[in-house]
Amino acid sequence: MAKEIKLGKRAKITQAQQYMALAVFGAAVFLGAAIAVVINSVNKITFSADIITAQDQAIVNFSDTIKNIGICKKPSGKVYSDDELKKCSPNSVTASDVPNTLRSNILENMASNTALASVPNQSNPDCINPKTSKNYTYKELEDNYAAAGESKDEERLIAASNLIKACSSLRVIPDALPAFKNEEALLASIDRIFRDSGTEPESLSPTGETDWAPFGNNLYTISVRLAIESGAGTVHTFLSNVERSIRNFNIERATIEWSSNNTINFQARATAYYMLPSNLSISDKTIKPGGK
């Protein structure tokens, strides 16, 4: 009888241990599942926060670019809303609408620069004021631009803006640093320096070589060979005019020889520069969970 009681107790103890093991195992499974769910939720929240932060930063950068260039009028808040971007019309924005921007700096400050204006103006029939039969002054160009802005006529404003670019000090900028390789224009510029110096070149030709210049992005060199035989005073005047030219020339190599008729035979290789346009493009950024 006692033996049967002991066996019954052991069976119950064993059964209780099994139930307890199952309970512990179930609790462990439940706890593990809960922890996994919490970790997954935290990762999703962190990932969503990373995406929202990147989107907000992209919106800020995009808005800052528009504001700094002066493409649209300033937004009502820190960034442009979708409605403000839809209503934005760059051709109807005047320089006074976007002060302290690249557009206003170009159309107001650089266009009125007296140092640039001192460069002789080339004959351009569009730059002749029909009322005075003389070249437009910057004040006249400015008044014309202001009147076009008040008229709210987009085509008239575009024409007034283009007139400032073509007839004010801004006309010098593409001459000083063209946006593309143009050997014909370069040779014409040097030939004009020869004529302004009272002489003609013995020879003038492009080398056909183009190289990247180490001074900035998209900046390239274009070289020419030139020769002149003239008196010392004329050669000196030519070199002075090259130095004073609005377009920068770098004389890399030169030889100077005295001729039998007391003239100087000057031969050189000169390099000028041009800068290709920079194209802005929207880049994609991939954000992965866990910051990977």
291 part of a folded domain:
no
Please tell me whether residues 61 and 145 are part of one structural domain. no
112-116, 136-140, 208-212, range with greatest mean pLDDT: 136-140
**Are 81 and 102 members of one domain?**
no
| 186 and 261 together in one domain | yes
Give the rounded percent of residues in the chain with a pLDDT score beyond 90.
Answer: 7
**Has residue 283 been placed in a domain?**
no
Domain final residue pick, 49, 64, 88: 88
Same domain, yes or no, for 71 and 117?
A: no
Q: Of 88, 111, 129, which marks where a domain is finished?
A: 88
**How many domains are there within the chain?**
3
Query: Are 130 and 181 within one domain?
Result: no
Domain assignment present for residue 254? The answer is yes
pLDDT bin (cut points 50, 70, 90) of residue 213 is low
| Global confidence as pTM | 0.59
Classify residue 287: in a domain, yes or no.
no
Domain that holds residue 266: 177-275
CATH assignment of the domain containing 220:
3.30.70.60
In a domain, 193, yes or no: yes
What is the per-residue pLDDT across 139-163, written as a single tens digit (0 to 9) for each? 888 888 888 888 888 888 888 888 8
Share of the chain above pLDDT 70, in %: 86
Q: What is the per-residue pLDDT for 237?
A: 92
Which pLDDT value is given to residue 18?
Answer: 67
Would you say residue 162 lies in a domain?
Answer: yes
Residues 100 and 146 in one domain: yes
Top pLDDT among 283 and 70 is at: 70
Q: Sign (positive/negative) of CA torsion 188, 189, 190, 194?
A: positive
Per-residue confidence (pLDDT) for residue 20, from 0 to 100: 73
Residue 214 lies in a domain: yes
pLDDT value, residue 225: 92
Same domain, 26 and 67: yes
Quote the pLDDT of residue 154: 86
Residue 57: pLDDT above 80? yes
Q: Kindly state whether residues 66 and 117 are assigned to the same domain.
A: no
Please indicate, yes or no, whether residues 132 and 201 belong to a single structural domain of this protein: no
Q: Are residues 204 and 167 in the same domain?
A: no
The pLDDT assigned to 172 comes to 76
- pLDDT digit string (tens) for 164-199? 887 887 777 777 788 888 888 888 888 888 988 898
> Residues 20, 82: one domain?
yes
The pLDDT tens digits of the residues spanning 215-274 come to 667 788 888 999 999 988 998 999 998 888 888 888 888 998 988 788 889 999 988 888
Residues 55 and 99 in one domain: no
| Nearest partner of 269 among 284, 249, 288, judged by Cα | 249
In a domain, 23, yes or no: yes
Question: Among the three residues 141, 173, 205, which one is the final residue of a domain in this structure?
Answer: 173
257, amino acid identity: E
Model confidence over 14-38: pLDDT tens digits?
666 666 767 667 777 777 777 877 7
